[in-house]
């Protein structure tokens, strides 16, 4: 089966994936135990969906019966643009600047699967990209793509941490990558030291409730917690601080995937424009964008918090 495995890897690169590895489909005992402890501690906040389907998260064969191999891929999304600095704008996390990565990744994964089926008509598989209950980062590690850093993102030697992950669970026995990339974080604590809310409470452990990305994207409360508002520093949607300071991101490379180039006004949008959006305008502006995840109410909540913080700071300056 070596020739098929090599062909799959070559085809994946031709389709635009930047890394690919293959692991045996089996239970993730240690990884699922760590996840269970994290959930038990309540560190996932309101992300109740992470509590569902523990068996499927622990073993891909429960998610897709008949799975024998996990094809894991990484897609570099880094573009070298920068946020504008200003009190009237808000910063968007880099991953959401362009088209929704779910759409881009799934299209490539399906194309790869269709090609595999032309080579092996008996192939049956399931495509996964963030939505399905599968531990993407754990499988990327098993497939030799990189290691999980202290900020809990996957880090690759070739592209740093600016990568999207996806999998194909397939009923074929392929050749497996047995070279696991060791942890290269060493004694570095840059991400822990830089996190504005100290959400990385220990190496490899994040308290989502403190995290700016969680608060501005996943949290559905009508108002942001005071501790979050105090430390927003312009972040309207998401936060990239722990990745921006990671020394391994000095190896970042500009992606060749044009769909990840920023859409107009998607890097540092004006806050007054966000606050004035109607539902219809919001739907049109963010169609096919990951930013729709937070919904209009969440995005405007975040924009309001930023504008009020700016106003508060100005009042303090006047009083001084």
Is position 272 within any domain? yes
Distance CA 252, CA 231 (A): 27
Q: Quick one: 218 and 129 in the same domain?
A: no
Name the average pLDDT for the chain.
95
Is position 92 within any domain? no
Distance CA 26, CA 59 (A): 6
Q: Quick one: 141 and 9 in the same domain?
A: yes
Q: Any catalytic annotation for residue 130? A: yes
Sign, CA dihedral 272-278-280-282, equals positive
Q: How confident is the model at residue 320 (pLDDT cuts 50, 70, 90)?
A: low
Q: Quick one: 16 and 109 in the same domain?
A: yes
Query: Is pLDDT above 60 for 301?
Result: yes
Q: What is the DSSP string of 71-102?
A: EEEEEE------PPP-TTB-EE-GGGSSS-HH
Q: Quick one: 149 and 209 in the same domain?
A: no
* Residue tagged 């497996």 (tokens): 176
Give 20's strand partners.
Answer: 73
By the 10 Å C-beta count (0-12 exposed, 13-18 middle, 19+ buried), 82 is classed as: exposed
Q: State pLDDT tens for residues 137-167.
A: 999 999 999 999 999 999 999 999 999 999 9
| Helices H / strands E in the chain, number of each | 13, 10
Give the per-residue pLDDT at 312. 72
Q: Quick one: 23 and 132 in the same domain?
A: yes
Is position 176 within any domain? no
Distance CA 284, CA 276 (A): 14
Q: Quick one: 264 and 205 in the same domain?
A: yes
- The parent domain of residue 36 ranges over 2-80+99-170
Going by DSSP bridges, is the β-strand pair 235-237/91-92 parallel, antiparallel, or unpaired?
A: parallel
- What CATH code is carried by the domain that includes residue 122? 3.40.109
**pLDDT exceeding 70 applies to what percent of the chain?**
97
Q: Quick one: 71 and 113 in the same domain?
A: yes
Is position 301 within any domain? yes
Q: Quick one: 104 and 198 in the same domain?
A: no
Q: Are 69 and 24 in contact (CB under 8 A)?
A: yes
Is position 155 within any domain? yes
Q: Quick one: 73 and 158 in the same domain?
A: yes
Query: Quick one: residue 308, left, alpha or beta (phi over 0 = left, psi -120 to 50 = alpha)?
Result: alpha
Give the per-residue pLDDT at 314. 57
Q: Quick one: 285 and 144 in the same domain?
A: no
Q: Quick one: 146 and 290 in the same domain?
A: no
Give the per-residue pLDDT at 309. 82
Catalytic residue among 53, 103, 130, 175: 130
**pLDDT exceeding 90 applies to what percent of the chain?**
94
pTM score, two decimals?
0.94
Give the per-residue pLDDT at 2. 66
Is position 178 within any domain? no
Give 168's strand partners.
Answer: 71, 127
Q: State pLDDT tens for residues 114-137.
A: 999 999 999 999 999 999 999 999
Q: Quick one: 131 and 19 in the same domain?
A: yes
Domain count, the chain: 2
Q: State pLDDT tens for residues 188-205.
A: 999 999 999 999 999 999
């Amino acid at each position: 089966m070596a020739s098929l495995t090599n062909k799959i890897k070559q085809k994946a690169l031709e389709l635009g994936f930047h890394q690919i590895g293959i692991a045996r489909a089996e239970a993730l005992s240690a990884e699922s135990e760590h996840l269970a402890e994290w959930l038990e501690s309540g560190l996932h906040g309101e992300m109740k969906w992470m509590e569902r389907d523990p068996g499927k998260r622990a073993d891909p064969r429960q998610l897709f019966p008949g799975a024998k191999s996990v094809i894991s891929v990484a897609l570099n999304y880094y573009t070298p643009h920068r946020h504008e600095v200003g009190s009237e704008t808000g910063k968007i996390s880099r991953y959401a600047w362009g088209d929704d990565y779910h759409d881009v990744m799934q299209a490539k994964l399906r194309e790869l699967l269709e090609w595999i089926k032309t080579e092996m008509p008996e192939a049956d598989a399931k495509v996964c990209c963030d939505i399905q209950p599968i531990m993407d980062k754990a499988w990327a590690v098993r497939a030799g793509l990189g290691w999980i850093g202290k900020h809990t993102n996957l880090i690759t030697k070739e592209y740093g941490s600016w990568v999207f992950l996806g999998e194909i669970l397939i009923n074929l026995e392929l050749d497996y990558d047995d070279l696991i990339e060791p942890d290269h974080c060493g004694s570095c604590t840059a991400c822990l030291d830089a996190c504005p809310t100290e959400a990385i409470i220990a190496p490899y452990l994040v308290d989502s409730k403190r995290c700016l990305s969680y608060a501005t994207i996943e949290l559905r409360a009508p108002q942001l917690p005071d501790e979050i508002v105090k430390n927003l520093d312009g972040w309207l949607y998401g936060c990239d601080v722990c990745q921006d300071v990671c020394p391994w991101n000095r190896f970042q490379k500009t992606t060749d995937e044009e769909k990840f180039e920023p859409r107009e006004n998607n890097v540092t949008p004006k806050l007054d424009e966000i606050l004035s959006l109607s539902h219809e305008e919001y739907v049109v502006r963010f169609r096919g964008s990951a930013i729709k995840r937070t919904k209009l109410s969440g995005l405007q909540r975040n924009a309001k918090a930023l504008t009020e913080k700016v106003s508060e700071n100005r009042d303090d300056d006047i009083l001084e």
